[in-house]
Structure 1
Amino acid sequence: MAALAVFIIAVAVLFAMGRPPMCDCGTIKLWHGVVESPENSQHISDWYAPSHFTHGLIMAGVAWLLWSKWRLFGGMPARFALPIAVLVEAAWEIAENTPLIINRYREVTISWGYSGDSIVNSASDIGWMTLGFLVALRLPAWASVALGLFLELLALAVIRDNLTLNVLMLVWPVDAVAAWQAGG
């Protein structure tokens, strides 16, 4: 219930920020696979959905590490792990749709022309993270790591971008990476 409440609050905040509810194209697609398109980050899934799924794998791993340490000291119960993960993902979705981050994406990543996510896409991204988190709870750690690496390599091969490069280019842009991503 706490995770759902965080999700609803995040969607309300995105509405209050004036984010478009859905793609300006007037449709909601299950999949939109063209990265350099005004419809990218506007639908239920796209080539960045695996990154959000991977966020869930990572957050489940971090939660497992933290909770195993906190358990030793009588700390926070594990039932708070998913709501905290949803809170972190929701906070990122809100931050990602601020002018500061939108402009940063435009300046230093392959997301030229990026105008932010639709609310449908942001809500779906939170859902992809949640799915990744729940899958990680069911898999052995090695399988979660393998799945995360597979998704990173798949996106890298297909669109020349992934979670790792996205973070790198936002934090520490590398000209050689930008040139490679641009096809040079």
Structure 2
Amino acid sequence: MLATLPRPKPLHSLFAVLGLSIAILWAMGRPPICTCGSVTVWGQVGPAQSQMLADWYSPSHIVHGFLFYWALSWLWPKASVDLRFLAALVVEAAWEIIENTPMIIDRYREATIALGYSGDSIINSASDIAMMALGFLAARRLPIWASVAVVLLLELIPLVAIRDNLTLNIWMLLAPSDAILNWQAGA
């Protein structure tokens, strides 16, 4: 008979995944903070935005949390919420690491409006993982109608403010469109 594994504690999981992610990103040569030498809470649109603690793409990471909560609840219903949370953290951390490889950075530069994008600072990647955790935990507590409303709001605000969001980001990475690119550029 197999012994059951102890249930991971959410904060322990978060800190363990953050610590491992930070170590990997450091080993990859990612800068800990903006190469400009400053750290602000909010990165304005431009080359330094993904170098700050949060930016216009932070809402998309909160949306990741909602999506991971729903998907894992459906795909892995017998797992504890804590185990699904750990799985979501691992997926988000893996994306943060992959997103900061030269191949993906170059893909963003080619296919999206992210001209001058040089990847995320470690502090921004860690913040993105924490934002996903926030979204996951919010999805756990909110009724489905409120969760859907939050996701729509988090997609619409950046769409209006910077002509980009998670949906367009994925679309442009997978199937770039000149029409969308021109609209995003204000042409």
Q: TM-score per shorter chain, which class?
A: over 0.9
Q: Are 2:37 and 1:26 equivalent residues in the alignment?
A: yes
Structure 1 portions without partners, runs of 5+: none
What residue identity is the alignment partner of 2:33?
A: M
Q: Which residue of 107, 114, 133 corresponds with 1:130? A: 133
Q: Does 1:101 align with 2:104?
A: yes
**Counterparts of 2:101 and 2:128, CA distance in 1:** 16
Query: Is the contact between residue 47 and residue 115 of structure 2 (CA under 8 Å) also seen in structure 1?
Result: no
Q: Any stretches of 5+ residues in structure 2 without a counterpart?
A: 1-11
- The amino acid that maps onto 2:75 is L
Displacement, 1:102?
0.2
For residues 133 and 41 of structure 2, what CA distance do their matches in structure 1 show? 17
- One-letter amino acid of the counterpart of residue 65, structure 2: G
Alpha-carbon distance between aligned partners in 2 of 1:84 and 1:160, rounded to the nearest angstrom: 31
* Percent of aligned pairs sharing the same letter: 55
Q: Size of the alignment, in residue pairs? A: 176
Q: Which residue of structure 1 lines up, in the alignment, with residue 154 of structure 2?
A: 151
Following the alignment from structure 1 to structure 2, what is the Cα–Cα distance between the partners of residues 80 and 7? 16
Is contact 1:3-1:87 (8 Å) kept?
no
Measured in 1, the distance between the counterparts of 2:14 and 2:31 equals 23
Give me the CA root mean square deviation. Answer: 1.1
Q: Could you tell me whether the CA contact under 8 Å between 1:89 and 1:129 is conserved in 2?
A: yes
TM-score (norm 2): 0.91
TM-score for the superposition, normalised by structure 1: 0.92
- CA contact 2:40–2:52 (8 Å) conserved in 1: yes
Q: In structure 2, what is the Cα distance between the partners aligned to 1:27 and 1:7?
A: 22
Does residue 166 in structure 1 map to residue 175 in structure 2? no
Give the conservation status (yes or no) of the 8 Å contact 1:67–1:78.
no
Alignment of structure 1 residues 26-175 onto 2, 5 Å = 26-32=37-43, 34-35=44-45, 37-68=46-77, 71=78, 76-175=79-178
CA contact (8 A) 2:18 2:129 kept: yes
The answer as to whether partners of 2:42 and 2:49 remain within 8 angstroms in 1 is no
1:3: Cα distance to partner? 3.4
User: Structure 1 residue 25: deviation in Å?
Assistant: 1.9
1:106-130: per-residue Cα shift (whole Å, max 9, x none)?
Answer: 0010101100000000000001111
Which residue of the partner structure matches residue 16 of structure 1? 27
